[in-house]
A = this chain, B = another copy of it.
Amino acid sequence: MGTVVALTGQVGGAKLVDGLYRLRGRDLAALVNTGDDYEFLGLLFSPDLDTVLYTLAGIANPASGWEPTGESRALHAMLKLLGGPDRVVVGDKSLAAPLLRTALLAEGSSLTEVTRHFCRHLGIEAKVLPMTDDPVRTHVLTDDGAIAFHEYFNELGCEPVAQGLQYAGVDQAMIPQEVADVLDDPDLEAVVICPANPYHSIRPILEVPGMRELIRKRGAPVIAVTPIVGGKALKGSAGKMMRELGHEASARRVALEYLRLIDGFVIDTEDAASAEDLRASGIEVLIANTVMRTAEDRNALARAVLAFAQAIRARRLQEA
């Protein structure tokens, strides 16, 4: 068995990463979106990184997915009392990672190094890798101009109509050596694009210069899992955003977003009818239960995805 690299963002992505981690342990590398990162009260918040860390460490609140279990809000209440901002509500536990991250970055560590430090102490054996150590900030283009994603999401509740997205800083972003190493591994077995919003969770990763080429470099099967089931996002604003950008909100449309990058696409049993259409576009399709309600759901989907990649690889060898 070789290395599996999972591109991820949001809670849905972290759930599949968790399923893959239970199967592969230290042979898994999560390549995590940092386009949703933001500064608040002088601290660097990396929501997608923290969601993966909490999930793999087994301390994520199963109800929300993105914060530690048993979260409290004592600091936030005191902050309000002192006349601080009351909008972005940050839990006491959830503030620890941004606080320590900001302090370690100020001391000269890279985001990759800080994340490795967190993994080691949380007992996470998989590699959790930021897509870049450079600042990339996703902006949603609206009638009121470009809005930073965290503001669009946290403060505006995804209300404004999205006309497009911009990934500020991505042109200057470098691929960290650790990311290059896992994608250039001769033992690379599969690249999995986890179920997450294609526009603000996955696309920023792909936009880092050289990333698409690196993903395809070793020729390992690239498999994407739909974040859309029955025309709706399981969580988050993917469906709304797709429609606003002029597309149908469908698994098929997500697959088209990844055209020329992926070898296989996983749709939900609920959308089985669209399989033929996708296959006609030259994409191999797996129909599976993509809705991860339980830990077993995560493991089952992870197993199915890796078996799918294995089948694609076997068929290729046969054809060659």
Find residues 69-104 in chain A having any chain B CB closer than 8 Å to their own CB.
Answer: 70-72, 74-79, 81-84, 91-93, 95-97, 99-100, 102-103
> Which residues from chain B contact A79 at a C-beta distance below 8 Å?
96, 99-100
Cβ of A121 within 8 Å of any chain B Cβ, yes or no, is yes
Find residues 97-156 in chain A having any chain B CB closer than 8 Å to their own CB.
Answer: 97, 99-100, 102-103, 106, 117-118, 120-122
Find residues 25-80 in chain A having any chain B CB closer than 8 Å to their own CB.
Answer: 41-43, 59, 68, 70-72, 74-79
Contact of A78 with B102 in the complex, beta carbons under 8 Å: no
> Which residues from chain B contact A96 at a C-beta distance below 8 Å?
75-76, 78-79, 81-82, 84
> Which residues from chain B contact A121 at a C-beta distance below 8 Å?
81-83
> CA–CA, A41 to B100, complex, Å?
7
The total of chain A residues at the interface (CB under 8 A) is 34
Contact of B78 with A68 in the complex, beta carbons under 8 Å: yes
**Closest residue on chain B to residue A95 by CB atoms:** B75
- Copies of this chain, tallied across the complex: 2
> Which residues from chain B contact A43 at a C-beta distance below 8 Å?
99
> Which residues from chain B contact A41 at a C-beta distance below 8 Å?
99-100, 102-103
Contact of B72 with A84 in the complex, beta carbons under 8 Å: no
Shortest Cβ distance from A33 into chain B, in angstroms?
Answer: 20
Shortest Cβ distance from A72 into chain B, in angstroms?
Answer: 5
> CA–CA, A94 to B78, complex, Å?
8
> Which residues from chain B contact A59 at a C-beta distance below 8 Å?
81
- 5 more CB-based (< 8 A) A-B contacts, given A41-B103, A74-B92, A84-B99: A75-B95, A78-B97, A79-B100, A82-B117, A83-B121
Binding site for B on A (CB under 8 A): 41-43, 59, 68, 70-72, 74-79, 81-84, 91-93, 95-97, 99-100, 102-103, 106, 117-118, 120-122
